[in-house]
């Protein structure tokens, strides 16, 4: 799925935004106001331990559907284009929000990093604080966010490059103890189709950063009818892979030499399993039918290639742009830009395929493994994936806009094609980028075992809990 499925279509109208805001007045009435005053408010300071949640769910679960026994609250709303999310050890929630080419128009006032606290433990954030540089200071926010050794790490994008920065945060104040951040990695490229930089940090501080491809399929003319692919695809030197840095070190600079794995078109979801194995999602390429109509029917363009979840190994080559994964044949096949006909594998026989695959163009944007204890045993150590939703499944209807669960047993995937729809209804009446009310992106597990889900269309955050049969 390309262009992150954002911003290419018009945004919600002002009228719809106004109605959404009015609908949330009752929910958020007790929230402390954002801005300078809220940033200085420490009256809701939490202890260093998390008490059991007494979340009170509404009747409609904030507009989404869930399996029996689960319910959801609207934890926060209209906070900006909410991307990835993380929960601190004391239950404070942090969200990175984003602006730029995908989100034209006015930005949310204040910094792009949002801190949320629920002092009542009822499932709604009653303290909301924003920090970090705002758009007036050259920031565009970002996608990636994480916590390591008590510090908050976040992607911060600019006009020509992005960086990952670190803030010292306090469990008392929620916001940074210093107004300035430390730069961990700078010079991350942002040109082209996929300028976001999600990341995951391991226990030893190894930080794995996604650098999505700048193009759809490394064509000489990007997204153009029957344009051949570049060979070699020199874009792979600096894009379409995962890079490794050290979260303990400052002032590292992006370069090709830190590449850890390659051939990954866009790994927006990136996470460790409970055993420390790194996984990522992959957005499959677009426009097989549109750009290669002599080889692919419109129906094939709608349903190919599969979206993927990959097991990441050092030096691994996952095939892009030379290959794509066909979920019907269950194999990597040679891309038409490089002489493929939709059937032959060619050089793709030596590339690494997915651990699990999904329908085409759903756009997997968030990945987390369930390590909590409050959900039923069925969910233990399995993976939740947030799908942002498609824009290019014509002539069929658009799909995705949901959260799925992939079961694991004894540290191993149950089946490469087995998944369950866990949460749906985010889009509302129409699963279309320009009409959807909400589009899932980030996903995180809290210390009390709850599941948090973000939305970058309406700026909503849900908290999902299990209440029993």
Q: Which DSSP state fits 460?
A: -
Burial 16-54 (b: 16+ CB within 10 A, else e): eeeebeeebeebbeebbebeeebbebeeeebeeebeebe
State residue 4's pLDDT score. Answer: 54
- CA neighbours within 13 Å on the CB side: how many for 6? 29
| Cβ 265 vs Cβ 320: under 8 Å | yes
Instruction: State how far the Cα of 241 lies from the Cα of 141, in Å rounded to an integer.
Output: 22
Instruction: State how far the Cα of 23 lies from the Cα of 148, in Å rounded to an integer.
Output: 36
182-189 and 252-253: which strand pairing?
parallel
| Cβ 340 vs Cβ 333: under 8 Å | yes
State residue 179's pLDDT score. Answer: 83
Report residue 232 as tokens: 């070699």
Handedness of CA 344, 349, 352, 356 (dihedral sign): positive
Instruction: Find, among 469, 261, 449, 455, the residue nearest to 369 by Cα.
Output: 449
DSSP letters spanning 146-187: EEETTEEEEEEE-SSEEEEEEEEB-TTTSSBSSSS-EEEEEE
Q: What's the pTM value of the predicted model, to 2 decimals? A: 0.90
Instruction: Find, among 79, 175, 182, 71, the residue nearest to 123 by Cα.
Output: 71
Instruction: State how far the Cα of 385 lies from the Cα of 442, in Å rounded to an integer.
Output: 9
Residue 309: helix, strand or coil by DSSP? strand
Phi, psi of 62 (to 5 degrees): 65, 25
pLDDT per 10-residue tile (average), the chain, 469 residues: 44 36 38 36 32 72 97 97 97 94 80 96 96 90 97 96 96 88 98 97 98 98 98 98 98 98 98 97 98 97 98 98 98 98 97 97 98 96 98 96 95 90 97 96 97 97 95
Q: Where are the chain's structural domains? A: 3-466
| Cβ 83 vs Cβ 142: under 8 Å | yes
Yes or no: domain 3-466 corresponds to CATH 2.30.30.110: no
Helix (H) or strand (E) holding 93: strand 93-97
Residue 253: helix, strand or coil by DSSP? strand
Question: Which residues on adjacent β-strands are paired with residue 5?
Answer: none
């Amino acid at each position: 799925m390309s262009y992150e499925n954002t911003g290419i279509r018009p945004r919600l109208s002002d009228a719809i935004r106004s109605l959404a805001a009015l609908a949330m007045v009752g929910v958020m009435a007790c929230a402390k106001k954002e801005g300078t005053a809220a940033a200085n408010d420490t009256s809701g300071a939490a202890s260093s331990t998390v008490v059991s949640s007494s979340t009170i769910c509404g009747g409609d679960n904030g507009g989404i559907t869930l399996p029996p026994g689960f319910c959801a609250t609207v934890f926060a709303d209209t906070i900006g284009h909410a991307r990835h999310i993380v929960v601190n050890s004391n239950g404070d929630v942090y969200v990175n929000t984003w602006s730029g080419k995908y989100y034209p128009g006015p930005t949310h006032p204040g910094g792009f990093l949002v801190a949320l606290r629920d002092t009542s433990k009822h499932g709604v954030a009653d303290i909301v604080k924003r920090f970090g540089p705002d758009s007036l200071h050259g920031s565009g926010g970002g996608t990636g966010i994480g916590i390591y050794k008590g510090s908050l790490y976040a992607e911060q994008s600019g006009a020509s490059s992005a960086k990952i920065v670190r803030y010292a945060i306090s469990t008392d104040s929620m916001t940074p103890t210093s107004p300035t951040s430390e730069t961990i990695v700078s010079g991350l490229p942002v040109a082209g189709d996929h300028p976001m930089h999600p990341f995951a940090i391991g226990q030893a501080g190894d930080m794995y950063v996604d650098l999505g491809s700048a193009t759809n399929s490394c064509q000489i003319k990007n997204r153009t009818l029957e344009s051949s692919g570049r060979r070699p695809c020199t874009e792979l030197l600096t894009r379409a892979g995962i890079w490794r840095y050290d979260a303990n070190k400052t002032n590292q600079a992006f370069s090709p030499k830190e590449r850890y794995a390659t051939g990954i078109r866009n790994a927006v979801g990136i996470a460790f399993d409970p055993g420390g194995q790194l996984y990522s999602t992959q957005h499959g390429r677009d426009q097989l039918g549109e750009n290669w109509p002599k080889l692919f029917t419109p129906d094939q363009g709608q349903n190919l290639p599969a979206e993927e979840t990959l097991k990441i190994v050092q030096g691994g080559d996952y095939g892009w742009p030379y290959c794509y994964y066909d979920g019907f044949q269950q194999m990597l096949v040679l891309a038409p830009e490089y002489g493929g006909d939709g059937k032959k594998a060619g050089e793709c026989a030596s590339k690494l395929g997915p651990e699990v695959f999904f329908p085409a163009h759903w756009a997997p944007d968030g990945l987390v493994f369930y390590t909590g204890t409050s959900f039923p045993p069925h969910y233990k150590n399995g993976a939740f994936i947030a799908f942002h939703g498609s824009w290019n499944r014509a002539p069929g209807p658009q799909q995705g806009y949901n959260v799925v669960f992939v079961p694991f047993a004894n540290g191993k995937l149950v089946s490469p094609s087995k998944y369950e729809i866990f949460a749906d209804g985010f889009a509302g009446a129409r699963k279309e980028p320009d009409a959807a009310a909400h589009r899932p992106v980030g996903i995180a597990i809290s210390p009390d075992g709850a599941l948090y889900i973000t939305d970058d269309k309406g700026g909503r955050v849900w908290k999902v809990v299990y209440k029993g049969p």
